[in-house]
Structure 1
């Protein structure tokens, strides 16, 4: 059967299943405004930029040639933790340490770190003090040491210091096997940005570094060879794979544009993000982190920095740390994700998305360049405005549950008490956002009311099991205890559940018959709040006049509805 007839047969079957709904219902749109089709075929891979081979230009298929080894696991260690933690992580399978610190270690501490590190590699997350930390640690004899100094996002905190001059001096000094500089596109993701913004920011930052350091006597090729790009994956693992491939593809185009022949491959440090984490049902973060690790590994990150499932919590656990590290090791060494170069290569969807993300990222870079370069764009707020728009769109989707956070915005863990959160880390010029926090705030408000209750009032009229299940999960998301009654005896219901919110559940036809009168009856009997499961439709005005507090339906602003309900319960309990 030819491809065309196969596609036609598939479309006929799909249209039959849609039962009159338009085919376009199956076409999704990414955060970058890229259409995501329900089916990809060989024709979707026609006319794409040649991919080359792994380890060769244009690097789309990976920066490392086959047989050069898998990605490196860099365990996360905080400066306040005992030095022994470094030794434990390396003994447990990590090859490197990602050390987060905002202080410069003294000579004794630097030597202790060097002894614990042994032959392991050290990557610094030193913020504005990265160069000072690097100097202290290199003096202790650590050879594989990456300063990862970011003169754009985290310039030195000393007044009057030329960040780019210091970056150039660090590159010229050499002396270690690591990467001296970095550009932090991970901060764009953590602030709510999408893949095109991350790629564009990374490219514009690399272009800025090349220009500025060339003015201080550093050749463009040398700047690229000593700079790492920091990225995060996100839980959309297929997009993460395409994002890393797209970054490398666009990087190759950038090197051509700036006149670097035979450029070094980009060195990507992939982070499991904090943005995806939630304090609600925190162990579910483990699943999200696994998806992110998979995306980074298959996408070809050179180093992957894990994140414990309870990193978002004030109290971290050894279990969380061990699970984070073990996930990467199992995926790499037992699932063999590190043994195959570009395993997603050739997928029509991945190849098409790689091309579109590379083009979108390139256009973002051009926009930043028209704004005077990345430093000028950050100073004017132009780039931050675009990131803010992406963040607002992300939060709107989360609030409407177009993006579901399992255990947080749906399928809540009943009776769970949220643990305190750890402090959010700022990434250079970007303030982080965690979409789960809007639901966490609702849950904490419910906890303050001491077991608020939602009573589902089954009005009958037909099979409403799907609507009832929707309503139950909806209000459990807000931390309410859900009960159910049947009938229209409003005084009896209110007497049995004083202070509760009563949620009408029935068919649309039944709502037209009794929803308005039932709302009035419940409120007259002393109910503090009445809600409707489903869209009010034509009777919305009458329901609002009768005193309806809120309506819960697919596509509504879930935290806003839950907040209105909890406010009504709180007001009635005074």
Structure 2
């Protein structure tokens, strides 16, 4: 097909547009409302404008080489070594290019994990060609720390060249201490142990990296992007200092530290966070007198965004997280299977996690361009804001005496707790929506299959001589899921869930919108909504409520219908022995009269849904 010059004119036929023209159009739509209504904010208070001009003079952030795919990592975490080995071999045969060996007691184990014994390590790695270019990442905890040594011994015992094995050993006592909220040893006692392991592995010929600065600690605990970045910087610098004290030059130490970040479903923030880390680490290297080299950055899709309810939505969340981390320059990505919050994932869940990356790499070609976000006004601005705020917090941690000292002073934990509290409030009020958990629930969803596996019990690790506030992992959906679990238990024991009667007033045109809202609202808490055809007669309404077997009711209709019928309807429901009456919508000027008629609570967008649901449970018990 021949393309003519006229066909290429496109935008040339339209008048040029500028920001001022756009603002005039926006102001017309806002009708006097402040423009700031369109300006969003991150959990760190960073502003996100609705539109940005193109960034001028922006250069790509140095990271993963252009046209080089990231490593497709697959979790190996089955407590049974033979089963874990079979899973690992299957993953490598079907597209994975690396394995994340998650040992019991590691920060990322989430209840399961590999057996760290030497016999189990040998079984897990049996038949895997470790020197054939696959990536191996170890996630270990204090109780499973010897797994790193066992892996090294296995490789030497097989006669393999350690330098030919791409292994990240994941030494991270700082991350473990932060999660546990304690340590048997002071930092001055930890340093010799870390450096001894580093020197020993380096002497064997392993090229590393060896120590991990793990930002998941902060993200899993509900922290912000700035807090996660600052934690990674502080941990990385602490390990650099420790390695240098062992007589290793900073140039050699430079390649012994790598970072791990969480990738979540917030596309722009995740993408900007990965870019920001590289710029921040380059600044650290320059401050150390080093020539900056691209930091190896591994990504795990976020634990805290996983839901147990409607877990298939987790596939969408993981896809967005992987997309963002990949475009942000991650060197390796591990996708948490969509059923991990329910238990040990089955083959289908593992396949979906693996194929998420394969599709993005092989079909969407995401790795073909290096830093494709470079020059984007929004991403460049957000990257810069994250850099500035994270560097400031990193300096605060350094002034406190470094990361371990900052943890002892609870400096980081206080900031994370404050961010988590705001995040939990937004979840409770459904400002931040979790599809399938806090919105659009399905009370009749089928049971999801997971493997039947018994977690490994590990021996305690030392006396907690140094105690501080812990940063345990959390999931945002957990409070709503606790109510759903309670509902399932009641269904199993009593044969029925708690119910709420939707007292729809008027015609479908009047009540459908709010009845739909109320049904979703109450069923997120496991309270089954009994829908109705609509009532004009209070007597008929009361009779239908009595026949429903429900203890509580919710009035649903338009404001116009409420003005005409709500008070009489509420009085009729109260006379029919309704324990509690809700109304879908804001009360407005009618509130006093409605409450006098028996309405106890009002449900509406932005209200504290979780608190009302917890109260509703008390009314139905």
Q: Same fold (TM over 0.5)?
A: yes
In structure 2, do the counterparts of structure 1 residues 189 and 115 end up closer, same or farther at CA, with 3 Å as the change threshold?
same
Q: How many residues align?
A: 554
Q: Which residue of structure 2 lines up, in the alignment, with residue 154 of structure 1?
A: 176
Q: Which residue of structure 2 lines up, in the alignment, with residue 122 of structure 1?
A: 136
- What is the CA–CA distance in structure 2 between the aligned matches of 1:121 and 1:398, rounded to whole Å? 37
Runs of 4+ in 1 over 6 A off after TM superposition: 1-4, 155-161, 417-425
2:569 corresponds to which of 489, 513, 518: 518
TM-score by length of 1: 0.89
1:136 corresponds to which of 138, 143, 150: 150
Q: After TM superposition, give the deviation of residue 162 of structure 1 in Å.
A: 2.7
Q: After TM superposition, give the deviation of residue 98 of structure 1 in Å.
A: 0.6
1:221 corresponds to which of 231, 251, 259: 251
Q: After TM superposition, give the deviation of residue 463 of structure 1 in Å.
A: 4.0
Aligned: 1:459 with 2:461: no
2:337 corresponds to which of 308, 311, 319: 308
Q: Aligned to 2:369, what secondary structure does the other structure show?
A: coil
Q: Which residue of structure 2 lines up, in the alignment, with residue 172 of structure 1?
A: 199
Aligned: 1:260 with 2:289: yes
Q: Which residue of structure 2 lines up, in the alignment, with residue 16 of structure 1?
A: 28
Root mean square deviation, CA, Å: 2.8
1:92 corresponds to which of 91, 94, 106: 94
8 Å contact from structure 1 (residues 93, 329) kept in 2: yes
8 Å contact from structure 1 (residues 418, 444) kept in 2: no
Q: Aligned to 1:232, what secondary structure does the other structure show?
A: strand
1:31 corresponds to which of 27, 35, 43: 43
Q: After TM superposition, give the deviation of residue 566 of structure 1 in Å.
A: 2.4
Q: Aligned to 1:486, what secondary structure does the other structure show?
A: coil
8 Å contact from structure 2 (residues 426, 432) kept in 1: yes
Q: Aligned to 1:530, what secondary structure does the other structure show?
A: strand
CA-to-partner distance for each residue in 1:163-194, whole Å, 9 max, x for gaps? 22122223333121332111111110010011
Q: After TM superposition, give the deviation of residue 515 of structure 1 in Å.
A: 2.9
- What is the CA–CA distance in structure 1 between the aligned matches of 2:79 and 2:530, rounded to whole Å? 44
- What is the CA–CA distance in structure 2 between the aligned matches of 1:107 and 1:400, rounded to whole Å? 49
Which protein, 1 or 2, shows the higher relative CO under an 8 Å CA cutoff with sep ≥ 6?
Answer: 2
Matches within 5 A, 1:407-556: 407-416=436-445, 430-447=471-488, 448=490, 450-460=496-506, 463-479=510-526, 480-484=528-532, 485-487=534-536, 488-489=538-539, 490-556=541-607
Matches within 5 A, 1:197-346: 197-257=227-287, 259-346=288-375
8 Å contact from structure 2 (residues 500, 550) kept in 1: no
Q: After TM superposition, give the deviation of residue 264 of structure 1 in Å.
A: 2.7
Q: Which residue of structure 1 lines up, in the alignment, with residue 417 of structure 2?
A: 388
Q: Which residue of structure 2 lines up, in the alignment, with residue 56 of structure 1?
A: none
- What is the CA–CA distance in structure 2 between the aligned matches of 1:482 and 1:363, rounded to whole Å? 54
CA-to-partner distance for each residue in 1:426-484, whole Å, 9 max, x for gaps? xx952011110111112223332623333222334974543333223222322323312
Q: After TM superposition, give the deviation of residue 533 of structure 1 in Å.
A: 0.3
Q: Which residue of structure 1 lines up, in the alignment, with residue 463 of structure 2?
A: none
In structure 2, do the counterparts of structure 1 residues 302 and 15 end up closer, same or farther at CA, with 3 Å as the change threshold?
same
8 Å contact from structure 2 (residues 503, 553) kept in 1: yes
8 Å contact from structure 2 (residues 258, 297) kept in 1: yes
Between stretches 538-547 and 289-298, larger displacement belongs to 538-547
8 Å contact from structure 1 (residues 129, 157) kept in 2: no
Aligned: 1:74 with 2:125: no
In structure 2, do the counterparts of structure 1 residues 476 and 107 end up closer, same or farther at CA, with 3 Å as the change threshold?
closer
Q: After TM superposition, give the deviation of residue 253 of structure 1 in Å.
A: 1.4
- What is the CA–CA distance in structure 1 between the aligned matches of 2:523 and 2:339, rounded to whole Å? 22
- What is the CA–CA distance in structure 1 between the aligned matches of 2:145 and 2:516, rounded to whole Å? 56
Aligned: 1:363 with 2:395: no
8 Å contact from structure 2 (residues 213, 233) kept in 1: no
8 Å contact from structure 2 (residues 506, 561) kept in 1: yes
Aligned: 1:562 with 2:613: yes
- What is the CA–CA distance in structure 2 between the aligned matches of 1:233 and 1:106, rounded to whole Å? 31
TM-score by length of 2: 0.83
Q: After TM superposition, give the deviation of residue 23 of structure 1 in Å.
A: 2.2
- What is the CA–CA distance in structure 1 between the aligned matches of 2:499 and 2:216, rounded to whole Å? 41
Q: Aligned to 1:319, what secondary structure does the other structure show?
A: helix
List runs of 5+ in structure 1 lacking aligned partners. 54-60
CA-to-partner distance for each residue in 1:83-115, whole Å, 9 max, x for gaps? 222211111111111111137745544433343
In structure 2, do the counterparts of structure 1 residues 468 and 537 end up closer, same or farther at CA, with 3 Å as the change threshold?
same
Q: Aligned to 1:140, what secondary structure does the other structure show?
A: helix
8 Å contact from structure 1 (residues 204, 369) kept in 2: yes
Aligned: 1:113 with 2:124: yes
- What is the CA–CA distance in structure 2 between the aligned matches of 1:470 and 1:122, rounded to whole Å? 48
Q: After TM superposition, give the deviation of residue 347 of structure 1 in Å.
A: 1.2
